[in-house]
Structure 1
Amino acid sequence: MSTTKAKVPMYIGTDGRELRRVLASSYVGSMIEYYDFVLYAAASGLIFNRLFFNDLPPAIATIAAFATLAVGFVVRPLGAIIFGYFGDRVGRKSVLVLTMSMMGIATALMAVLPTRDQAGVLAPILLIVLRIVQGVSVGGEWGGAALMAFEHANPQRRGFAAVFATAGQPTGSLLAGVVLALFALMPEDQFLGWGWRVPFALSAVLVVFGLWIRIRVSESPLFVEEKRRRETTTEKVRAPLIEVLRRPGILILAFVALLAPFLSFTLSGAFGITYGATHGLTTSSVLFISSAGSLVCIVGELFFAALSDRVGRRPVMIGGVIAGAVLAWPFFALLQTGTAWGALLAFALINGVAIGATFGPLAAFMGERFHTGSRFTGLSLGYQIAATIGGGFGPLILTALIAGNPSDVSPIVWFIAGVAVLSIVALLLSKERAVEAPVSVGVSGTTTEETPAQVADVATARHAGAAEPVPGEAAR
């Protein structure tokens, strides 16, 4: 029986309320995660270099502060492996409760850290320890949040469902930027004395709210079925990491495909903010403008995620990668005007088009790379390795490229273009669905497995622009 796209529900089973709770949990959890993470990133070059490394020359102090930022990225793959294992073996929900608690506690404790003048060398050591806790928890948070939405949703609507975890990231970035910018308007001595601590303390309030939402959702139905299958099967069950590494090509292609998107994310984030602040904009104004760009990013991600449900993940993401390369030069040209309108347009274009079109379908694209039993590990590991290279070391690479001549951004533009080519090739070599017959829960609520014929029907429908057949429809 054929169906139209408008008749396809977003949820599986008979009740859509549970999916709404899951989407809210994914969105809020990811928002809190990135509020904490971006707050630290912004504070590194504005505050921590002056309070925790003030015994060093200013330039060295800034480098030291940014090094603690990089530490958080370096340990993210470790978090992906650790929490990926428990997420694939114990459950998605319990891991997400733990990661959110760890992230929130670490950020809240930063609000009461003693400074270098108060505690000597112990102060930066404590800062680094808390940063490591942040990084490890982030390694498991995004992957689990994306999977809860992905695995609760109708297979035809997974792009739009899973994007709620991704859309929470720019929301958290926006919130962190606005809150920090407001306190940055204080007199400098008050801001450095106590004002900077308040945004970090607010994390505790956000975490309590997030945990209240997250505890109320049910476990992923696909994970429940996979756990039941493992308990009844006699076959040897491999560790999730081993299962992922048995098919290294999928992981490598996914990692390379995400490099260009994360480079665009870096361009609109730490590096772009710093570049704008050195070309005529005040710190508070560039923070407000980048926050507005995050708002545009949310809209873009939602739109392109929904589009990917109709035309496929790869075409949309390839378009976003191309846009990121093409917009790199205008981005710098607009920032070099030193005007608020120029910066606003620059951040809006990068966030809305380049980041929106790549990060919108990203969660569903990654979820469709791996089987249920190793999906948490595979998705998180591929994502976090790309984040470490593109997001953690991206600012350092871009800064080094123009170190000799800060007014000449052509090396950065060419570098972005080269990485874009690599990501496009990886996307072209990737299958639309790396897992050809994913286990899924049918619309009727029964668990089924898509047959090769059903997968072929999906591909044919996509090519023709028609609605995809719903897995489990024939059984119904």
Structure 2
Amino acid sequence: MAITEHMAVTAPSAGSASMRRIVWSSVIGTAVEWYDFLIYAVATALVFNKLFFPVGDPALATIAAFGTYAVGFLARPLGAAIFGHLGDKHGRKAMLASTIIIMGLGTFCIGLLPTYEQIGIAAPILLILLRFLQGIGIGGEWGGAVLMVVENAPPKKRGLFGSLVQVGNPIGNLAALGIFAVASQMPESEFITWGWRIPFLLSILLIGVGLFIRLRLEETPAFRQLKAKQEVARMPVLEIFAHHRRPFFTAVGLKIAEISYASIAGVFVISYATQKLGMPRATILNGVMASSFIALFSIPFFGWLSDKWGRKTMFYLSCLFCMGFAFPMFTLLDTKDPWIVTATVVVAISFGQMVMFGIGAPFYSELFTARLRYSGASLGFQIGAAISGGLTPFIAASLMTWSGGATWPISLYLIVCALITAYATFKAPETAGTDIS
């Protein structure tokens, strides 16, 4: 009996077929979720300010549109709390099937929404409710997908394997930007009328693919061991806030700089370049697409480096970049040179976001014990994302309006975010190679 129980909680070896299946299942399922979440970001910058918030001032319409973008981020902690609680009590696998259905249905319904011109104020209200539903889905999904890999990975390769889950983000982003790039080739009138709906409606097909993949996964050894020993947490979220506040607030702080750069370079810059600089939207979308393609390779490379150099070293290096590039980024964008603009977006996303984004998957998870890991890692990640990511485009648009079009307040904001994450990194323990079983 003891041998049977031991075998039941043994993790697969790094190069085994089982480990490869776990990694690729998590990557593909996560890519579907991120596609659903990220097409909203592109649509926010391109069409939602015109179709759902048609106020007289274009700047105010953009601020309102970015406000609904923020709703998805603000809903993510609620999704993390709900599914983190259930995931720590009932296992990681079951949650992943639920979240992909929630996310996919929310995305599909956005593609069916009437506009402000058709139904008035009900249009933005419905848009906000569906964005909130998207936030619930991605908030619960991330932790489960990451733990499926991290809790199966060998300790000395956990950075590499954990970062591979995050490759689902650029895959989803490439898919979202690619389908929008195709749709935006339509005449402007057709794109605004119905072309923008295509990326949202396609999500119904992806639900089935993602669900099929995730139902084939097995529960992680760490959770099976907890269940066998009857050590599953009864109220994990309450336990975190009562006895594990330090790792929780550390995880929140670790997220601030990364998601602020992602929101500025990947979302706000689309609006800045097209409206303020008068550049064609294809130019800036090409920059975001190029950075996503590079991330397919850079994320696992950064994860591999974190196994060699440590999680903290990599975070410190990225924070230094975030501070040093905050002012040059807008100076380079203002050249309006297509090649310089594209390179600027690629560099900003690659070193300002993807270093910490890739390494964050194992790092946040390693801060918590197995019985609280789903809730702790998810809440830390999602609350940090809500504070910085959801509000950053809104704050940036407001700061630029306040400053009369100047970007220096946005650069200062990015530096402050980097300082917060640097301090959180200082307070965090080094977790690379440690035993988290």
Distance 2:65 2:263 in 1: 17
C-alpha contact 2:267 2:393 (8 A) present in aligned 1: yes
Inter-partner Cα distance in structure 2 for 1:405 and 1:26:
44
- Is the 2:63–2:398 contact (alpha carbons within 8 Å) kept by the matching residues of 1? no
For residue 367 of structure 2, the aligned residue among 366, 369, 377 is 369
Larger RCO (CA within 8 A; separation ≥ 6): 2
> Alpha carbons of 1:407 and 1:294: their partners in 2 closer, same or farther (altered >3 Å)?
same
Query: For residues 102-159 of structure 1, what are the alpha-carbon distances to aligned partners after superposition, in whole Å with 9 as ceiling and x for unaligned?
Result: 1111111222222233334333332222111101111111111111110111111111
Matches for 1:140-289 after TM superposition, within 5 Å: 140-230=140-230, 237-245=233-241, 246-277=243-274, 278-289=276-287
RMSD value, Cα = 2.2
Query: CA separation in 1, counterparts of 2:69 and 2:228?
Result: 41
What is the aligned residue count? 425
- Describe the superposition over 1:176-196 as per-residue Cα deviations: whole angstroms up to 9, x where unpaired: 112112211211221122211
What TM-score results when the alignment is normalised by the length of structure 1? 0.84
Equivalent position SS for 1:152: coil
Partner of 1:450: none
- Is the Cα contact below 8 Å between 1:25 and 1:145 reproduced in 2? no
Contact 1:106 1:130 in 2 (8 A): yes
CA contact (8 A) 1:108 1:202 kept: yes
Report the CA distance shift for 1:397/1:61 in structure 2 as closer, same or farther (over 3 A).
closer
Distance 1:407 1:242 in 2: 44
**Unpaired segments ≥5 residues, structure 1:** 1-10, 440-476
When residues 296 and 280 of structure 1 are mapped into structure 2, their CA distance, relative to the original with a 3 A threshold, is farther
Q: How do 1:399-418 residues align onto structure 2 when only pairs under 5 Å count? A: 399-405=397-403, 408-418=406-416
1:53 matches 2:50 = no
How far does the alpha carbon of each residue in 1:429-453 deviate from its partner, in whole angstroms, 9 at most, with x for none? Answer: 21113997632xxxxxxxxxxxxxx
| Map of 1:448 onto structure 2 | none
Residues 56 and 32 (structure 1 numbering): CA distance in 2 closer, same or farther, change over 3 Å? farther
TM-superposed CA distance for 1:370, in Å, is 0.5
Does residue 351 of structure 1 match 2:318?
Answer: no
Matched, 1:103 2:100: no
CA deviations 1:41-80 (Å, max 9, x no partner) are: 2212322232233476644443332222111111111110
Cα offset for 1:404? Answer: 4.0
CA distance in 1, matches of 2:136, 2:171: 21
The aligned amino acid for 1:211 is L
Residue 474 of structure 1 corresponds to: none
Paired AA for residue 189 in structure 1: S
Tell me whether 1:334 sits opposite 2:310 in the alignment: no
Query: Offset of 1:351 from its aligned partner?
Result: 2.1
Amino acid at match of 1:276: A
Provide the rounded CA distance (Å) in 1 between the counterparts of 2:68 and 2:350: 29
Q: Which deviates the most, 376-385 or 309-318?
A: 309-318
Query: Which one of the candidate residues 287, 290, 300 is aligned to 2:288?
Result: 290
Identity across the alignment (%): 37
Distance in 1 (alpha carbons) for counterparts of 2:248 and 2:298: 26
Question: Which stretches in structure 2 are left out of the alignment for 5+ residues?
Answer: 1-10
Q: Secondary structure at the match of 1:351?
A: helix
Match of 1:63 in 2: 63
- Give the SS at the match of 2:69: helix
Alpha-carbon separation, structure 2, partners of 1:341 and 1:434: 38
